[in-house]
Amino acid sequence: MEKKKLLVLFSVFLIPLILMTAGCIDQDSAQAGTSAENTAEESQKVDVVHLSGGDYGYPQPFTIYPRGPGSSKVGMIFDSLVERDEIGIIPWLAESWEVNSDGTEYTFYLREGIIWSDGEPFTASDVKFTFDYEQENVPIAGGMESGVVDNVQVVDSSTVKFVLNQPVSTFLYKLTSFKIIPEHIYENVSDPTSFLDPEAVTGTGPFLLDEYNKEHGSYRFVTNEKFWGPDTAVEAVEFIPVSDPLIAFEQGEIDFTSISPDILDRFTSYPDIRVVQQPAFWGYQFYFNMNKCSELNDRKIRQAFAYAIDREELVGKIGRGAGKPGEMGILPEDHIWYNPDQPEYDYDPDKTGALLDEAGWVDTDGDGIRDMDGKKLSYVLSLGSAEVRIGELIKERLSEVGIDVQVKALESKSRDANLKTGDFELAISGFGGWGKDADYLRTRYCDTDSESGSSVASGAAVFGYHNDTLNALGEQELQELDDEKRKEIAYEMQTVLAEDVPTIPLYYTTSYDAWRISKYDGWMNMYDHHARTHSILSYIERDGIAEKR
Amino acid sequence: MANDRNSFVFRLLLTLFVILVINFFLPRMMPGDPFSTTSADEVGEEIIVMTEEQRLYYMNYYGLDRPLHEQFLVYMKNLMTGDLGRSIYYKMPVSDVIILHLPWTMLIVLGSTVISTIFGVFLGTLSAKNRKKGSDRIMMTGMIAFAEIPSFLLGLILLLFFSAYLRLFPLAGAITSFADYSGPAEHTWDILYHAFLPIVTLSLSQLTGVYLLTRNTLITVTTKDYIRTARAKGLGEKTVWTRHALRNALLPVVTRAGFMIGIMMGGVVLVESVFSYPGIGMILRCAVVGRDYPLIQGILLVIAVSILICNLLVDKIYSKLDPRVAI
């Protein structure tokens, strides 16, 4: 009796073990062959680079997860017509292109002799197919937003023409993330969101997906021998799960990591470890809801906020020095089109006081909070639990100038829901992408084509802001095809925004990247993005088409 | 008897239905939806902000734009055919996601239940035997103090000491990535090697409960008349303890072990995230953050059902151990 019970208990314990072992064996034996081949040839090339992993989805445009670096993994396999390097846009699948005089037709001449990783030739019809297919099946990332392109025409097998609805100055920029998928595979797929077959990751790019383990969050990419471009500089890239990237880096499990400024000293003394700061393209933004709080429509009040919030202090105390204070012209200092000559708002509580007095807000009842006609300058500041300390510091500074703030920490999805519906008074949110094309000044702050009452654009919680000058500049910026002239317009837009203060960028973070030089030293930054590991150029030889600039 | 059985089955089905209703509506009452993410959670994190068209397309794709009662009926109908739906975040059937991750959680939960029960009973017996002596007092105080350490903190300490400092154990994961195993034995060894610290953490956090329960019931039992009778019969001290005292004292311990499996299924989230262990807790966290309704439903259902099954099993074992109790 006793023995039997023990046996039952033991076998219950064994079942999950057997299940797990059984599931993996056949995969492993299949992998054994390929890894042996890879090590034999090409000795000077780096064999493998290890990076911090985690499951971000099957790396095709329809199945990656919306959170985390899934799209950069898609980029290792799939190519776009044009690519981004450290300075700007470079030819990629398209060797050259022509634009008609009014900027509504782009003709791309594709590189000859490109083949998909399964041996099929890549042609102009793959490009047209990708566009048409994604009209029906919207990808998570790597698509072309609707309303830009009217249709795509195949001129001949290596020439393709995009016809636009209206001139869009950022069309080429948008194309850099438009990943071309193979027609001969996807034409038979009716539901790409559930397409997890090996063929789904057939691309023209420099790497092949050798192994993906969703359960454990590991990826192994190996060189695509059929890649049309420069050689890869690393034979394989492995993403492996780590619990703490820093310890994993110290122990040599991964070769690249981000480090916090507090422990910088531990790494700067090693000759083999290179520590470089990231460009300031990730930041926190402070929102005003002008629909809900009418007095915020007065730009003097918003300017008063900008003078009262000590952004240098936020960088020092919260960012531990690894950051840059926010610019009221929105674009960070590291942005290629940052306007250095714009109204500045240094921390100056006296100016805040003067501005508020001027607008008629004074403390009449002596409770320390400014008021007017019985209404108090008192707000609820909504933020995510990670931003509580930022909120507390701001509350402190604002209370010194007579503005009362209650910090309300929310779970991140709840906060996002409030940002979307406009159910907040003041809010803070952190996000990346501040280095993207300056066109985001238009999409976020011009209310030309949005219905009244909603926020200006999806993704930006700017409620109730309206400025005719900015709208007109935005209109111009969208149509201007000459980049030099467009840059001037973007400069002007920054000046207008800095005078108006529709939102307050609090600070942009500049984390430190650290990597082992002896392992691999080819890391580069795209001109518009903070993460070095996300650029495909970080993994290939910088010659020919991808020559370093 | 047949009537009893019917009402038992009815009660079980009713419980299940109530669980299903709560599972369905609770996640949907949380603010937000799976596609309207605009802010990142930590510095440097990448998020893909969907355009309104993209959002509407995916709401429609997953049927989330339909009225709630309609969605519920569809869910119930699919459930009848064993279809748990499709995970929005992971883009694969919910049942596949669960099958992929559940064994890992089962491994560490069952493993630590067995280990903590064995050690807890052993230590509890030791303590009860030496009751009121110094060693009992020290052990008791130590164990109670120990129980106050939260399991994730304990895990973190173990991880830092054994993995980061001594480098005896792996830092994360459940298997060695891209490993080439020479056979099932090596594979099993790798799995156990990775599971060791998580199991130890969970075991240690369960130990005190088992220990206290064993100690206390043993002390109660040993004052009973039949123990005195057994001693009077001239049985050896060893036989008295194992045959008479421990056997009776084990009843509540078994009950507890059964309940603990169920509770731990839901409670391993923190320990799994400390060790980046790919169990059900890790994906539950992801599912809640990403508002992946079908997956949240599926996992909560699995947890609820496993608690129900454990309760049933406990009842069964109980009646075997103590013939006076029968369902």
Helix axes B68-80, B2-29, angle to 10 degrees: 140
Asked whether the ipTM of the predicted complex exceeds the cut of 0.85, the reply is no
Strand partners, A384: A410
**Does residue A182 sit in the same domain as residue A236?**
yes
Of A146, A218, A430, the CB nearest to B53: A146
In a domain, A93, yes or no: yes
**Does residue A227 sit in the same domain as residue A319?**
no
Count of C-beta atoms within a 10 Å radius of residue A36: 10
Interstrand relation of A503-509 and A256-259 (parallel, antiparallel or unpaired): unpaired
Which element (helix H / strand E) includes A463? strand A460-463
Question: Which residue of B lies nearest to A66 if distances are taken between CA atoms?
Answer: B48
Q: Please give the pLDDT value at position A207.
A: 97
**Does residue B189 sit in the same domain as residue B247?**
yes
**Does residue B288 sit in the same domain as residue B150?**
yes
* Alpha-helical runs (H) found in A195-344: 245-250, 265-268, 299-308, 311-317
**Does residue A204 sit in the same domain as residue A339?**
no
**Does residue A397 sit in the same domain as residue A529?**
no
**Does residue A103 sit in the same domain as residue A217?**
yes
Q: Please give the pLDDT value at position A10.
A: 53
**Does residue B160 sit in the same domain as residue B286?**
yes
Structural domain including B298 reads: 94-321
- At residue B135, does pLDDT exceed 90? no
For A486-502, letters b (16+ CB in 10 Å) and e give: bbbbbbbbbbbbbebbb
In a domain, B89, yes or no: no
Residue range B204-220, pLDDT digits in tens = 988 988 999 999 998 88
User: For residue B53, which residues of chain A lie inside 8 Å, CB to CB?
Assistant: 138, 145-146
CB contact under 8 A, A35 and B180: yes
Residue in the block written with tokens 């034996």: A29
In a domain, A39, yes or no: no
Among B52, B80, B108, residue at a domain's last position? B80
In a domain, A496, yes or no: yes
Burial classification of residue A2, based on how many CB atoms lie within 10 Å of its CB (0-12 exposed, 13-18 middle, 19 or more buried):
exposed
Residue range B84-131, pLDDT digits in tens = 989 998 888 999 999 999 999 989 999 999 999 999 999 999 998 888
Mutate to test the interface with A, among B102, B178, B187, B293 (most CBs of A within 10 A): B178
Supply φ then ψ for residue A221, to 5 degrees.
-105, 135
Alpha carbons A457 and A474: distance in angstroms, whole number: 13
In a domain, B122, yes or no: yes
Residue in the block written with tokens 């500074």: A397
**Does residue A306 sit in the same domain as residue A390?**
yes
Q: Please give the pLDDT value at position A440.
A: 92
Q: Please give the pLDDT value at position B327.
A: 46
Alpha carbons A409 and A390: distance in angstroms, whole number: 11
Q: Cα–chain-centroid distance for residue A459?
A: 13
CATH code for the domain in which residue B291 is found: 1.10.3720.10
Residue range B218-262, pLDDT digits in tens = 888 888 888 888 888 888 888 888 888 888 888 888 888 877 877
Alpha carbon of B265: minimum distance to chain A alpha carbons (Å): 14
Tokens of A338: 């940052």
Provide the domain count of chain A. Answer: 2
CB contact under 8 A, A17 and B52: no
A-facing residues of B in 224-253 (CB < 8 A) are none
- Asked if residues A111 and A93 have their Cβ atoms less than 8 Å apart, the reply is yes
In a domain, A274, yes or no: no
Alpha carbon of A240: minimum distance to chain B alpha carbons (Å): 6
**In this structure, which amino acid lies at residue B265?**
M
Q: Please give the pLDDT value at position A357.
A: 94
In a domain, A406, yes or no: yes
**Does residue A251 sit in the same domain as residue A302?**
no
Among B80, B115, B149, residue at a domain's last position? B80
Provide the domain count of chain B. Answer: 2
In a domain, B327, yes or no: no
Nearest to A5 by CA among B189, B165, B257, B30: B257
**Does residue B306 sit in the same domain as residue B167?**
yes
CB contact under 8 A, B57 and A9: no
Residue B188 touches partner A, C-beta closer than 8 Å: yes
User: For residue A279, which residues of chain B lie inside 8 Å, CB to CB?
Assistant: none
In sequence order, the 6+-apart residues with CB closer than 8 A to the CB of B169 are B162, B163, B193, B194, B196, B197
**Does residue B157 sit in the same domain as residue B74?**
no
**Does residue A504 sit in the same domain as residue A538?**
no
Residue range B268-326, pLDDT digits in tens = 888 888 888 888 888 888 888 889 999 999 998 988 888 888 888 887 777 777 777 65
Of A35, A194, A218, the CB nearest to B177: A218
Q: Please give the pLDDT value at position A310.
A: 96
Residue in the block written with tokens 């208990």: A9
- At residue B33, does pLDDT exceed 90? no
In a domain, B26, yes or no: yes
Q: Cα–chain-centroid distance for residue A514?
A: 20
**Does residue A205 sit in the same domain as residue A291?**
no
**Does residue A221 sit in the same domain as residue A349?**
no
Residue B171 touches partner A, C-beta closer than 8 Å: yes
Residues in chain A where the model's pLDDT stays below 70: 1-44, 449-459
Residue A15: DSSP 8-state = H
Mutate to test the interface with B, among A6, A11, A17, A534 (most CBs of B within 10 A): A17
CB contact under 8 A, B164 and A251: yes
Q: What is the DSSP string of A477-509?
A: HHH---HHHHHHHHHHHHHHHHHH-SEEEEEEE
Q: Please give the pLDDT value at position B99.
A: 92
Alpha carbon of B288: minimum distance to chain A alpha carbons (Å): 9
Nearest to A489 by CA among A479, A498, A476: A476
**Does residue B253 sit in the same domain as residue B296?**
yes
CB contact under 8 A, B53 and A66: no
**Does residue B217 sit in the same domain as residue B138?**
yes
Among B80, B103, B135, residue at a domain's last position? B80
User: For residue A211, which residues of chain B lie inside 8 Å, CB to CB?
Assistant: 178
In a domain, B326, yes or no: no
Nearest to A70 by CA among A433, A395, A534, A456: A534
Alpha carbons B298 and B305: distance in angstroms, whole number: 10
Of A15, A145, A431, the CB nearest to B47: A431
In a domain, B153, yes or no: yes
**Does residue B123 sit in the same domain as residue B149?**
yes
Alpha carbons A130 and A128: distance in angstroms, whole number: 5
**Does residue A113 sit in the same domain as residue A201?**
yes
**Does residue B284 sit in the same domain as residue B203?**
yes
Question: Which residue of B lies nearest to A69 if distances are taken between CA atoms?
Answer: B46
Structural domain including A115 reads: 2-9+44-257+522-548
Question: Which residue of A lies nearest to B283 if distances are taken between CA atoms?
Answer: A215
Residue B182 touches partner A, C-beta closer than 8 Å: no
**Does residue B132 sit in the same domain as residue B101?**
yes
- Asked if residues A261 and A320 have their Cβ atoms less than 8 Å apart, the reply is yes
Distances (CA, A) of A28 to A21, A31, A236, B182: 11, 5, 17, 10
Alpha carbon of A70: minimum distance to chain B alpha carbons (Å): 9
Strand order in the sheet with A404-410: A323-325, A503-509, A282-288, A426-432, A378-384, A404-410
Q: Please give the pLDDT value at position A429.
A: 92
**Does residue B177 sit in the same domain as residue B67?**
no
In sequence order, the 6+-apart residues with CB closer than 8 A to the CB of B275 are A243, B155, B159, B172, B173, B197, B198, B201
Q: How far apart are the first and last CA of chain A?
A: 78
**Does residue B66 sit in the same domain as residue B112?**
no
Residue range A144-200, pLDDT digits in tens = 888 899 999 999 999 999 999 999 999 999 999 999 999 999 999 999 999 999 999
**Does residue A370 sit in the same domain as residue A442?**
yes
In a domain, A25, yes or no: no
**In this structure, which amino acid lies at residue A98?**
E
In a domain, A193, yes or no: yes
A-facing residues of B in 306-325 (CB < 8 A) are none
User: For residue A140, which residues of chain B lie inside 8 Å, CB to CB?
Assistant: 48
Q: Work out the average pLDDT over B168-196.
A: 86
